[in-house]
Amino acid sequence: MDFRRIEIIFVITFIALNIFLLTTYLDKNYNNFSSDNSNTKVNIADEMAKSNIELPTFQNEINKVPYVQADANDLLLKNYSKLNNQRGSIGENGFVYKSTLSEPLQLTEEKEFVAKDIDKLIAFIESNQVLFGKEYQFFRYITKSQQVVFTQIANNIPIADGTSEVVFQLDNSKRVISYEQSYAGPVTVQGESRVLITDKNAVDILYQNNELSADTIIKKPTLSYYRTLNLEELSMYAPAWFIEIESSTDTQVKRVDAISGTVLKVQTLEQPQSVTKSRLKPPAEQDSATLSSNRE
C-alpha cells in the first residue's frame, strides 16, 4: 500500500474541505451583513415615518471636499475706518466689527422676507458698505430674531459656523438698522479632497443619535464648513452638513461632520458677541428660515 500517496490525498482533501468551509462561512456572514444593513436602512426610514418626520429630497451623492485654512489676521481692524455712513467699532476680541447705519436700509414692503429683500442686501453688501462684501453670499433669514445672515464662501462652500459671517439686524419696519461682521480672512485649500458622507447619511446619523424629534420637517441639508482647529496663527475648517429641523414651535439647526459623521455641538462663542448675548442659547436652538440661494 502506497502510504505516501494516501497521505498526500488526505492532506489535499483536508485543505479543500477547509477552503470550502471558510468560503461558506464568509459568504454566510456577508449575506447576513448585507441583509442586516439593508434592514437597518429600511428600519430607519420606517421609524422616521412612524414618528411623522418629514424628509426632503436628498441629493444622496458622494462628494469629495478638502479642508481649508485661514491665516490669523486683523483685516477688519485695519479697514473698518474706511466705511462711510455708519458708526462702527471692533469688539474686545478684535475679530467682530459692529456697525450702526446712519441711514437705515429700507427693504421691500412685503410682510414676509422675500427674494427682492435679498437682492437689496446683495447690492448693499457689494457697494463697499461692508468690508470684503463680495466674498459673502446670502445663507438664511432667522425669523424669530429678524436677522439676515450672509456667510463667507470658501472653496465655493459657505462657512456656516458663525466665524465668518455678516448678520444684518432688522427692525419692526423691516429696515436694516445695524450689522455685525466676522471675517476668517483669505482661505487656501489644504491637502487632498476627502470623501464625504451623503446628506441622507447625515440625517440618518442624527436620528440614530436621538437628535430628531417626532412631528418635524427636515429641510434639505446644506454642505458647509466649520472651524475644527483654532490656533494663534491659523484656523482650519472641515466640511459639515448644516441641517435645519422645523417643528410647530421653532426651527433648530444641527450639524454633522461630513467626513467622520460626528454630530457637532457648536459653541455660542462662535457667534458675534452681541448676538450671543441676546439669544442666550446655542445655534442648534435658533429659530430660522432658510431661503434658497438661487431664490427660485
Question: What's residue 24's pLDDT?
Answer: 42
Global pTM?
0.77
How far lies 64's CA from each of 41, 87, 218, 225, in Å?
A: 23, 43, 24, 13
Per residue in 207-253, pLDDT tens? 999 999 999 999 999 999 999 999 989 999 999 999 999 998 888 99
Question: What's residue 8's pLDDT?
Answer: 65
3-state secondary structure string across 65-91: EEEEEEECCCHHHHHHHHCCCEEEEEC
Question: What's residue 43's pLDDT?
Answer: 81
Q: For residue 24, which phi and psi values (nearest 5 degrees)?
A: -60, -40
Of 254, 245, 175, the residue nearest 209 (C-alpha):
254
Question: What's residue 73's pLDDT?
Answer: 93
Question: What's residue 18's pLDDT?
Answer: 56
Report domain 74-182's class.
Answer: alpha beta
Distance CA 256, CA 224 (A): 10
Distance CA 281, CA 276 (A): 7
Which residues have a Cβ under 8 Å from the Cβ of 103 and sit 6 or more positions away? 85
Of 105, 96, 102, 217, the residue nearest 164 (C-alpha):
96
Q: 291 and 138 in contact (C-beta within 8 Å)?
A: yes
Domain positions in the chain are 1-50, 54-68+190-269, 74-182
Question: What's residue 6's pLDDT?
Answer: 62
CATH superfamily of 54-68+190-269: YycH protein, domain 3-like (2.40.128.690)
Low-confidence residues of the chain, pLDDT below 70?
1-42, 92, 266-296
pLDDT above 90: percentage of residues in the chain: 67
Question: What's residue 110's pLDDT?
Answer: 93
